[in-house]
Amino acid sequence: DNDCVKTITATVPAIRKDERTGAKIFFNSVVAAFTGWIDSRNDPKKAVILGDGSLVDAEALIDVAKFMDKEKVSFAWEEGDVLLVDNWVTMHSRQPFEGPRRVMATVFRGDEADEKHNTPSAMLTSGDSIPLVGLGMWKIPKEVCPDIVVKAIKAGYRCFDNACDYGNEVEVGKGLSKAFELKLITRDKLWITSKLWNTYHAKEHVRAACLKTLKDLNLKYLDLYLIHFPIAQKFVPFEKRYPPEWSYDPEEKKEFTKSIVQVDVPIAETWAAMEQLLEEGLVKNIGVCNFNCALLRELLKTAKVKPVVNQVELHPYLTQNKLIRFCRRNGIHMTGFSNLGAPSYVELGMAKKADFVIDQKVVVDIAKAVGKTEAQVVLRWHLQRGNSIIPKTTKEHRLKENIGLFDFALSQEQMAQISALNMNRRFNDPGVFADIPIYD
């Protein structure tokens, strides 16, 4: 009806209990049944029945199939690929059942759709779903944070990536409170991430640091709490300086690298304290940032709860294929920061304009071919690799641009062309700016 699919019978739950066997069964969508289950045992026009045993009208099935074909997004299968299809927001079908498979998904939103899935999400091993696109709050000025948070929520963002070290969690909290006050969203529909800073790694400081973040954000819990760096520094009391930053005592006027005071706190001790936060309900998920394979292996030896996320620098100049492969094999989701590479680091003197990925000819050419901006092409590249992203912006039009990534796809050839830009170029490296090597 006017290119819309309407349910004219009672809605059938996706998971149902078989009254005969007591087993849980997956009750697939109309389109999956009609277009995907065609074999010698099945008449597609009789593939779908209603709860009372009557057949769905064949013409209606054909109309739905046509609608799906018109709106479909197709993914080519390769060995080892896994595609999670969220049945809250998609109808899906697999064709064919022999040889290379193809999944067709028609994405739609209804009044009853879960608000947390306004942008597609990735399922974590905890069972929670993290939105694939969030707003990174690093380097967003305090004075604009509240307004940006509200505008982002209006634009469809449901994930906000924060950290004690960013120094703007109070202002982010004001923006969240304003959005709740305006009834734009409710807390349970948002995904809020924050991070434990280096000076709070000792077990007696982890809980206090988390509570401080919760107070600043004016929240009762975090959806995800991450260890910011695998680096432990000397404790700095909140009342002395917050956020503590890298230098133990900036007033000493020491050379930067000599002003950083490291302490011996095993990651296992910090992680055990993070697990306590989980048990207490202060956080729903725990993970890490800036961990390489060796550090993850060490952590996994003693962890009672595996990290669900590893957030690292990811962009076409730093594809981190081996790390992604390791994390995937161990059920650790990858979130990439600095998604466009150099832009965030130019003003810090850690990159030059010539380092911009979006200025590469191959990216420019692909953007023209798909009718999107260069930034959208690079961000889409991240998503098709199976990683979530947290691009930063203070511009309203770019808020919309950075989340408008789900109405196009890159071909395998285009993906390969962008990946070929890899040069293992890392912009955010403590081994360079702080003389604390953590990467090989």
Provide DSSP, 249-289.
-GGG---GGGG--B----HHHHHHHHHHHHHHTSBS-EEEE
Question: Cα–Cα distances in Å, from 161 out to 137, 324, 388?
Answer: 6, 20, 12
Of the candidates 52, 173, 197, 188, which has an alpha carbon nearest to the alpha carbon of residue 128?
Answer: 188
Give the number of other Cβ atoms within 10 Å of residue 406's Cβ.
14
CA-CA-CA-CA dihedral for 297, 303, 308, 312, to nearest 10 = -40
Annotated catalytic residue within 166, 200, 225, 248: 166
The token pair at 243 is 């956020």
* Strands, E assignment, 179-232: 191-196, 224-227
Residues 6+ apart with CB under 8 A from 374: 358, 359, 363, 364, 367
Alpha carbons within 13 angstroms on the beta-carbon side of residue 116 total 17
Residues 332, 309 contacting (CB under 8 angstroms): yes
The token pair at 191 is 């995904």
Phi and psi at residue 2, to the nearest 5°: 55, 45
Residues 235, 202 contacting (CB under 8 angstroms): yes
Residues 6+ apart with CB under 8 A from 188: 116
Residues 6+ apart with CB under 8 A from 169: 162, 163, 194, 213, 216, 217
| 166 given a catalytic annotation | yes
Strand (E) or helix (H) holding 323 = helix 321-329
Strand (E) or helix (H) holding 313 = strand 309-313
Residues 366, 417 contacting (CB under 8 angstroms): yes
Residues 263, 236 contacting (CB under 8 angstroms): no
Residues 129, 333 contacting (CB under 8 angstroms): no
Handedness of CA 161, 124, 77, 314 (dihedral sign): positive
Question: Cα–Cα distances in Å, from 135 out to 157, 278, 381?
Answer: 7, 24, 17
The number of angstroms, rounded, from the C-alpha of 159 to the middle of its chain's C-alpha atoms is: 8
Task: Point out the residues that are catalytic.
Answer: 166
